[in-house]
Amino acid sequence: MSAITEALARATSEVLEEAAYVFCCPTDEPPPFQHGLVQLRVPFHGPMQGEVVVTGPRAVLRDAAEHATWTPRRRETNEQLTALAEMIARTFVVSRWGADEPVRLETPLAKTIDPTTYARRRGRPASLVTDDGVRIDVEVSALAGTR
């Protein structure tokens, strides 16, 4: 696992644990995804241009987002999910480059994805597994100017 992916895995674990009471740890042998996946994406620009990507079961990430944002579930919206994505991205950016480094986050996106399509993608994300045995993948896609 690269240092930057490791930093994102730590940031994701920190946000999920402290804000949503979802405890997770890295794993080299993640369980398979079943269905109902959502992918959260947050593009950023600063010392590195890239995108924070978090993929996991919609139900788990939705519940975590409700706890983290203190909003009750009335109906499912992407607003809570994108707020969670932004919390993870901000924590990652500060842990990686410090609070004084100018890094701009773009609008977070949340989209449903098919587990079969996801399994065929290129790249190797870091996998986290929750205490309940649920897999959450994280990765940073670098666009240019990595340092």
- Total residue length of the chain: 147
The per-residue pLDDT for 147 is 47
Confidence of residue 74 (pLDDT cuts 50, 70, 90): low
- Burial of 30 by CB count in 10 Å (0-12 exposed, 13-18 middle, 19+ buried)? middle
The per-residue pLDDT for 122 is 74
What is the spatial distance between Cα 127 and Cα 117, in angstroms, rounded to a whole number? 17
Say if CB 88 and CB 12 are below 8 A apart: yes
Token representation of residue 39: 């992918």
Q: Inform me whether the pLDDT recorded for 75 exceeds 60.
A: no
**Mean per-residue pLDDT for 84-91?**
96
Give me the amino acid identity at 114: D
The per-residue pLDDT for 69 is 83
Q: Inform me whether the pLDDT recorded for 6 exceeds 50.
A: yes
